[in-house]
């Protein structure tokens, strides 16, 4: 089974880019299942219901989220209604939406989880380990493969989560930092891992944004308006090839388009 995971969509331009290219990329690479982190599609503040629908129509099977997912009030209703839309599981049961879903793809039940780190990231949530453990235990026997998006700032925290669930989750990928990392690996018990997928948005700026607003905010610590960068739009991701019988990742590679 080939799973394509795409890093944080950072702007409406990123949404349009996937609409134009994602189905072609899926066909060319024989992708069975696609997860897109839509965390910043509305420029920082999550995504609108329209953007969610467009991304799903563009070829995403699941939209994962992060620390900004619940900041778009217009999307709270669809987070409750649509099982393909996820927010971090460790927001807790009182938050709108869900932290995992199980979808049937090609005869396999695939469980996709989304969790958030708690080091150098706001809001500060409880550590994700116990939330992930409880979900896996609750759904035991109902899924064939599990995949996790760990949305976190600290690479060490992401890797700790991956090792904690090595052999229990087929693929663990990090999101949030918008910078693709070169540490693709398969852990000892078969979990495929990468610290960060990267992003889908305008290049040439700072994490998809024009430098001026970001520099001003970091210098003054005052709010400033973020505007998508002026560069060409590009999508970063990783393709995980997973053995359907063992649940182990057998290969993984980067893709940019």
Task: Tell me the torsion sign for CA atoms 21, 23, 26, 27.
Answer: negative
* DSSP annotation string for the chain: -EEEEEPEE-SHHHHHHHHHHHHHHHHHTT-SEEEEE-TTTTTSS---HHHHHHHHHHT-SEEE--TTGGG-GGGHHHHHH-TTB---GGG-TTSSS-SEEEEEETTEEEEEEEEE--SS-SS-PPPSHHHHHHHHHHTTTS-SEEEEEEE-S-HHHHHHHHHHTBTTBSEEEEESS----S--EE-TTS-EEES---EEEE-SSBTTB-HHHHHHHHHH-S-----B-SS-EEEEEEEEEE-TTT--EEEEEEEE-
Confidence check: pLDDT of 127 > 80: yes
pLDDT of residue 45: 83
Active site residue 176: no
Please state, in angstroms and rounded to a whole number, the distance separating the CA atoms of residues 112 and 232: 30
Average pLDDT over residues 26-33: 98
pLDDT confidence band for 172 (50 / 70 / 90): very high
* DSSP annotation string for 104-151: EETTEEEEEEEEE--SS-SS-PPPSHHHHHHHHHHTTTS-SEEEEEEE
Which tokens is 206 given? 């700072």
pLDDT of residue 213: 85
Confidence check: pLDDT of 114 > 90: yes
Q: Are 166 and 248 in contact (CB under 8 A)?
A: no
Residue 142 CB contacts under 8 Å (≥ 6 apart), including other chains: 102, 109, 111
pLDDT confidence band for 195 (50 / 70 / 90): very high
With both helix axes pointing from N to C terminus, report the angle between 49-58 and 12-28 in degrees, rounded to the nearest 10: 20
Give the structural domain span for 78: 2-256
CA distances to 33, 75, 147, 158 from 96, rounded to whole Å, are: 25, 10, 21, 24
At 46-65, the pLDDT tens digits run 999 999 999 999 999 999 99
What percentage of the chain has pLDDT greater than the value 90?
88
pLDDT confidence band for 224 (50 / 70 / 90): confident
pLDDT of residue 75: 86
Question: Domain holding 72: CATH number?
Answer: 3.60.21.10
Confidence check: pLDDT of 226 > 90: no
Of residues 192 and 225, the one with the higher pLDDT is: 192
Q: What is the pTM of this model?
A: 0.95
pLDDT of residue 44: 78
Active-site pick, 17, 68, 176, 178:
68
Mean pLDDT of the chain: 96
At 133-152, the pLDDT tens digits run 999 999 999 999 999 999 99
* Total structural domains within the chain: 1
pLDDT of residue 76: 92
pLDDT of residue 217: 86
At 67-106, the pLDDT tens digits run 999 988 888 999 999 999 999 999 988 899 999 999 999 8
At 234-248, the pLDDT tens digits run 999 999 999 999 999
Average pLDDT over residues 169-179: 98
């Amino acid at each position: 089974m080939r799973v394509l995971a795409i890093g944080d969509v950072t702007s409406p331009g990123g949404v349009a880019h996937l609409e134009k290219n994602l189905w072609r990329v899926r066909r060319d690479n024989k992708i069975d299942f696609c997860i897109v982190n839509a965390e910043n599609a509305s420029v920082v503040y999550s995504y609108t219901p329209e953007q969610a629908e467009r991304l799903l129509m563009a070829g995403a099977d699941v939209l994962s989220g992060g620390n900004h997912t619940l900041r778009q009030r217009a999307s709270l209703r669809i987070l409750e209604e649509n099982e393909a839309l996820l927010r971090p599981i460790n927001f807790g049961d009182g938050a709108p939406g869900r932290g995992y879903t199980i979808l049937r793809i090609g005869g396999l039940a695939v469980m996709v989880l989304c969790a958030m780190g708690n080091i150098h990231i706001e809001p500060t949530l409880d550590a994700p380990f116990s939330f992930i453990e409880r979900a896996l235990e609750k759904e035991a026997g109902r899924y064939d493969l599990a995949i996790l998006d760990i949305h976190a700032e600290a690479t060490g925290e992401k890797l700790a989560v991956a090792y904690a669930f090595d052999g229990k989750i087929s693929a663990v990928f990090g999101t949030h930092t918008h910078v693709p990392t070169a540490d693709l690996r398969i852990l000892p018990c078969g979990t495929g891992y990468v610290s960060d997928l990267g992003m889908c948005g305008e290049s040439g700026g700072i994490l998809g944004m024009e430098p001026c607003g970001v520099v001003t905010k970091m210098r003054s610590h005052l709010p400033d308006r973020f505007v998508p960068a002026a560069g060409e739009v590009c999508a970063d991701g990783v393709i995980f090839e997973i053995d359907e019988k063992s649940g182990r990742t057998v290969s993984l590679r980067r893709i940019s388009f």
